[in-house]
């Protein structure tokens, strides 16, 4: 039998196929044979990623190997200070990355932990409790409220049985279960009402079921296999990693090219080969921004700290920037776009429609009629409706630690909250109306009945699906509390109201009662659920988060598409999507069953037109993510359930919900949203964009400075001048006096129009042609003014080489420090930005200048850096030349702004 067909067969057919017994279960001998055949009922464990593997993974970048090569060459030349400094930077970068990613591959272990439970099984007619791992297909299990379902099973008996399957299917409300076969073969997972699934929770009722699948063959096991497949697949680089890798290759070839060209030019001029080799190495050192990996890593780490304040916890450093590149957010509905708190919004009673204000489980709000507050106590019919909804109710509303929450079915809880807003509490009503018996809800009757001893005698209170309930009603309650015969006109009005409320994505319940002549001898539907008095309708919904709509609009303004993917029904999903503004002109909604009919190619071609996916499984979500990625999108996928984990793994950025998310989902994610709020995702995208902008500022600053150093050394070599800077001095500039301001640029305030810009193309390099040209212009300016300073000191001031080199060294440091102020913006003046809006930058510029003065004047380090002190007038000269880049850029920005005007 196909595993997808268990739901189509009767219990007797299952008994034959599984070779079990519906009364006595399996024999012990048969259990042992099946255990040997199928293995234990547990998920296969993926070998954990070793710490060594994670550590070695930090050394895969080209730029890291370029730095290691530079350290080796420095060591061969016995430049031990240079070699040690470069290696320290490499190891620091690796350590930071390793710490962040240490727990990134724990998804299967968490999934296995989720599946560990105990089970009550009937074997040879005896009920016993055993570890769930010992279950086999064909076992007869018994379940009740509070149990975790131990294996995939087919229900053979149920009374009031409901399970919470949100973590597996995305269904936001409990699912009623029955033993009745489902005739259709292809039925979505969430609609298989006679099946129980491993890892889900029984919220009410009890039942018996035959185990149909264990371990890896369960639906949970299939998800584990998907996670394993996505984990084993080659991990794609993030946009930032791709850009840095491209930059690393560029720097590698640039370094090699400089070394070869300069070496050959010097050799042709007859300069000794050893001298030319040292010169070429100096140029190579100048070409490599040694501080870049550390600057990028620390910038990302600082971004992680800032994101925590905006309720986003980053688990992998590169994910910070990936958020800024996001073009599509595939978002779950329940709990992310909505509050995941069923709330009564509308009441219909006696021909009147009432609006209920307030959201969530806190009993704060009021009941309004025609937009005006109404006094429920003055509405006898309304009060009877609310009392009945409380007395026919199995949930409880509790206040614990100043927080209201529901124990039991969220739908029933919403009824308690609505009644509490009218001053009715379950505790007091139950004291006045004692419980006598009940007929639990089941999916065939679609009703629930509770019989209570009221002051006026025994009364049966009933709630259920309005269309079904209405068929059993012969009378109705007027607004004044009078009972009158239910005419066809009133019946049609009630039906039309029910349809109107349902069309607004409300879940509608009907409420009725039946006064009884005496206390029943038997509590069953046949004797109680007829000749009812219809009391009214209750409309409720899971309200959207008030900030979610604004966040969706902010994402749209930023060029980011938001797509809803949910396990809920299509009509509900579409109504919520319209309220959020997701269903733009031409937008489509498709269900999981429709997805099953589409090939991957058809989905890829259609994916841009679909705004809502409803009634979907884990495989469906995975296909949607892959389809978007095939269209070149950078995809962020949100989720909280086990069924979301594979898609989170496959997405460019997996976003788990911190409050409602399972451990599996969190371990599969790159980011955890701690308040389960879509607005926090949008805030994280904004933060990611700001971080990328700041990384780019840092990279441009470092590269423009390095170009200046390269051209300075190259021009001096071409003109036959002595080396203006020594390798150890270049290394000092790159690691310290460049590195500190580069880090300060990482905390520059975000641009005001950040979320009004379209996403960056994923393949866009750091160095576009326009920016590359700007880098060379700025670098050339730095090189020329420093070279002129060197020539003037050497020949105009007649200083010796060591003193001239020290002064040139200081000029280059000061020029680059002032140039750091230019890099805060490409077109806005430093004074327009506000000189004090980035105080860390001003502090690091001052600190770097003091450090430079320190190595010039402090005797113990003068020998290391090969510098000598010079006179105050030389400092004035160095400052006057060093400030020229800032003056030049301010003039250029002003001219550009005037030209735009």
CATH code of the domain containing 204: 2.70.150.10
Give dist(CA 100, CA 319) in Å, integer: 11
Stretch (H or E) spanning 484: strand 483-485
Residue 847, pLDDT > 90, answer yes
pLDDT score for 100: 46
Same domain, 284 and 201: no
pLDDT score for 530: 94
* 755 domain-assigned: no
Residue 332, pLDDT > 90, answer no
Number of alpha helices (DSSP H) and beta strands (DSSP E) in the chain = 35, 28
* 842 domain-assigned: yes
Where in the sequence is the domain holding 468, given as residue range(s)? 343-541
Query: Confidence class of residue 884 from pLDDT cuts 50, 70 and 90?
Result: very high
pLDDT score for 784: 95
For the segment 150-175, the average pLDDT, to the nearest whole number, is: 81
For the segment 303-329, the average pLDDT, to the nearest whole number, is: 80
* 289 domain-assigned: yes
Domain termination site, one of 197, 218, 239: 218
Winning range, highest mean pLDDT, from 159-168, 519-528, 693-702 = 519-528
pLDDT score for 799: 86
Domain termination site, one of 541, 556, 580: 541
For the segment 414-426, the average pLDDT, to the nearest whole number, is: 94
The total number of residues shown for the chain amounts to 901
Which of 605, 609, 639 lies closest to 621, judged by CA? Answer: 639
Same domain, 586 and 713: no
Query: Confidence class of residue 901 from pLDDT cuts 50, 70 and 90?
Result: very low
CATH number, position 324: 3.40.50.1000
Same domain, 374 and 432: yes
Contacts of 230 (CB under 8 A, 6+ apart): 622, 646, 649, 650
Same domain, 333 and 358: no
Query: Confidence class of residue 96 from pLDDT cuts 50, 70 and 90?
Result: low
Which positions are catalytic? 332
pLDDT score for 109: 45
The distance of Cα 494 from the centroid of its chain, to the nearest Å, equals 43
Same domain, 371 and 324: no
Residue 577, pLDDT > 80, answer yes
Winning range, highest mean pLDDT, from 53-67, 99-113, 557-571, 773-787 = 773-787
For the segment 186-195, the average pLDDT, to the nearest whole number, is: 83
* 191 domain-assigned: yes
More confident residue, 674 or 234: 674
pLDDT score for 108: 37
More confident residue, 102 or 576: 576
Token pair 């269904």: residue: 171
Residue 714 near residue 755 (C-beta atoms within 8 A): no
Q: Which two tokens stand for residue 63?
A: 């730029």
Same domain, 433 and 474: yes
3-class secondary-structure state, position 298: helix
Residue 659, pLDDT > 80, answer no
Same domain, 559 and 485: no
For the segment 821-832, the average pLDDT, to the nearest whole number, is: 88
pLDDT score for 47: 59
CATH number, position 850: 1.20.1110.10
- Each residue's pLDDT tens digit, 425-458: 999 999 999 999 999 887 778 899 999 999 999 9
pLDDT score for 335: 73
pLDDT score for 666: 75
pLDDT score for 275: 63
Same domain, 551 and 679: yes
Query: Confidence class of residue 48 from pLDDT cuts 50, 70 and 90?
Result: low
pTM score? 0.67
pLDDT score for 777: 92
pLDDT score for 663: 63
Give dist(CA 392, CA 811) in Å, integer: 84
Counting the structural domains of the chain, the total is 4
- Each residue's pLDDT tens digit, 520-571: 988 999 999 999 999 999 999 888 887 888 888 988 988 999 999 887 778 8
* 368 domain-assigned: yes
Same domain, 205 and 140: yes
Same domain, 788 and 700: yes
Q: What are the phi and psi torsion angles at 140 (to 5°)? A: -100, 115
Residue 229, pLDDT > 70, answer no
**Average pLDDT score, the chain:** 83
pLDDT score for 265: 72
pLDDT score for 103: 43
* 63 domain-assigned: no
Residue 112, pLDDT > 60, answer no
- Each residue's pLDDT tens digit, 784-826: 999 999 999 998 888 899 999 999 999 999 999 999 999 988 8
* 61 domain-assigned: no
Query: Confidence class of residue 212 from pLDDT cuts 50, 70 and 90?
Result: very high
* 844 domain-assigned: yes
Same domain, 173 and 153: yes
Give dist(CA 394, CA 178) in Å, integer: 19
Residue 414, pLDDT > 60, answer yes
Give 472: exposed, middle or buried? Use CB within 10 Å, 0-12, 13-18, 19+.
buried
Domain termination site, one of 518, 541, 564: 541
Same domain, 453 and 330: no
């Amino acid at each position: 039998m196909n595993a997808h067909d268990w739901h189509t067969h009767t219990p007797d057919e299952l008994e034959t196929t599984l070779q079990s017994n519906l009364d006595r279960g399996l024999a012990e001998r048969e259990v042992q044979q099946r255990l040997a055949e199928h293995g234990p009922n547990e998920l296969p464990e993926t070998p954990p990623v070793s710490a060594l593997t994670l550590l070695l993974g930090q050394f895969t970048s080209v730029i890291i190997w370029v730095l290691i090569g530079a350290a080796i060459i420095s060591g061969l030349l016995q430049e031990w200070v240079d070699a040690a400094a470069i290696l320290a930077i490499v190891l620091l970068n690796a350590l930071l990355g390793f710490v962040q990613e240490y727990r990134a591959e724990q998804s299967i272990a968490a999934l296995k932990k989720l599946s560990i439970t105990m089970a009550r099984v009937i074997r040879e007619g005896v009920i016993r409790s055993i570890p769930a791992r010992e279950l086999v297909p064909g076992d007869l299990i018994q379940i009740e409220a509070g149990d975790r379902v131990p294996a995939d099973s087919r229900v053979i008996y149920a009374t009031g049985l409901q399970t919470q399957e949100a973590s597996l299917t995305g269904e936001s409300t409990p699912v009623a279960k029955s033993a009745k076969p489902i005739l259709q073969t292809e039925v979505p997972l969430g609609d298989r009402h006679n099946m129980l699934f491993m890892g889900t929770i029984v919220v009410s009722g009890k039942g018996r079921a035959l185990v149909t699948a264990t371990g890896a063959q369960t639906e949970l096991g299939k998800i584990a296999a998907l996670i394993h497949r996505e984990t084993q697949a080659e991990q794609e680089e993030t946009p930032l990693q791709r850009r840095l890798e491209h930059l690393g290759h560029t720097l590698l070839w640039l370094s090699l090219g400089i070394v070869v060209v300069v070496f050959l030019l010097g050799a042709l001029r007859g300069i000794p080969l050893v001298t030319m080799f040292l010169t070429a190495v100096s140029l190579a050192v100048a070409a490599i921004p040694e501080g870049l990996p550390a600057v990028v890593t620390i910038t990302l780490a600082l971004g992680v700290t800032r994101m925590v304040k905006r309720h986003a916890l980053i688990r992998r450093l590169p994910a910070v920037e990936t958020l800024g590149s996001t073009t599509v957010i595939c978002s779950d509905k329940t709990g992310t776009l909505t509050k995941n708190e069923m709330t009564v919004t509308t009441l219909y009673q006696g021909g009147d429609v009432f609006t209920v204000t307030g959201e969530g489980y806190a009993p704060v709000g009021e009941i309004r009629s025609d937009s005006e507050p109404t006094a429920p106590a003055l509405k006898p019919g309304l009060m009877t409706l609310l009392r009945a909804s409380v007395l026919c109710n199995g949930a409880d509303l509790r206040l614990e630690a100043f927080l209201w929450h529901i124990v039991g079915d969220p739908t029933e809880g919403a009824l308690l909250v609505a009644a509490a807003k009218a001053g009715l509490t379950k505790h007091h009503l139950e004291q006045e109306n004692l419980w006598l018996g009940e007929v639990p809800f089941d999916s065939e009757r679609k009703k629930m009945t509770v019989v209570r001893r009221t002051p006026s005698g025994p009364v049966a209170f009933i709630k259920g699906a309005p269309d079904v309930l209405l068929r059993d009603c012969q009378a109705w309650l007027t607004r004044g509390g009078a009972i009158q015969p239910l005419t066809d006109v009133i019946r049609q009005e009630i039906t039309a109201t029910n349809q109107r409320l349902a069309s607004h994505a409300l879940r509608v319940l009907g409420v009725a009662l039946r006064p009884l002549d005496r206390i029943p001898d038997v509590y069953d539907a046949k004797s109680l659920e007829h000749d009812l008095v219809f009391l009214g309708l209750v409309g409720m919904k899971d309200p959207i988060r008030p900030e979610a709509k604004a966040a969706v609009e902010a994402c749209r303004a930023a060029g980011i598409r938001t797509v809803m993917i949910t396990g809920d029904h299509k009509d509900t999903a579409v109504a919520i999507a319209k309220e959020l503004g997701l269903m733009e002109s031409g937008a489509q909604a498709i269900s999981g069953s429709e997805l099953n009919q589409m090939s991957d190619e058809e989905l890829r071609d259609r994916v841009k037109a679909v705004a809502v996916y409803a009634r979907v499984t884990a495989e469906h979500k995975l296909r949607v993510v892959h389809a978007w990625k095939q269209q070149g999108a950078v995809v962020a996928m949100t989720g909280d359930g086990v069924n979301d984990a594979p898609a989170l793994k496959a997405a460019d950025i997996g976003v788990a919900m911190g409050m409602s998310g399972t451990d599996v989902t969190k371990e599969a994610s790159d980011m955890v949203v701690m308040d389960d709020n879509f607005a926090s995702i949008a805030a994280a995208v904004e933060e990611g964009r700001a971080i990328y902008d700041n990384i780019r500022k840092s990279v441009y600053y470092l590269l423009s400075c390095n170009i200046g150093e390269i051209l300075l050394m190259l021009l001096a070599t071409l003109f036959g001048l002595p080396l203006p800077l020594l390798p150890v001095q270049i290394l000092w500039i790159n690691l310290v006096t460049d590195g500190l301001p580069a880090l300060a640029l990482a905390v520059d305030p975000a641009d005001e129009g950040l979320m009004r810009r379209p996403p960056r193309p994923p393949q866009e390099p750091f160095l576009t042609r326009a920016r590359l040209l700007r880098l060379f212009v700025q670098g050339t300016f730095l090189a020329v003014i420093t070279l002129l300073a060197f020539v003037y000191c050497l020949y105009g001031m007649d200083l010796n080489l060591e003193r001239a080199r020290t002064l040139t060294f200081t000029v280059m440091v000061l020029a680059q420090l002032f140039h750091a102020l230019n890099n805060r913006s490409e077109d806005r003046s430093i004074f327009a930005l506000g000189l004090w809006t980035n105080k860390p930058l001003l502090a690091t510029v001052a600190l770097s200048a003091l450090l430079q003065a320190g190595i010039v004047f402090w005797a113990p380090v003068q020998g290391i850096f090969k510098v000598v002190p010079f006179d105050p007038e030389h400092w004035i000269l160095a400052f006057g030349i060093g400030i020229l880049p800032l003056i030049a850029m301010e003039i250029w920005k002003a001219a550009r702004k005037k030209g735009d005007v």
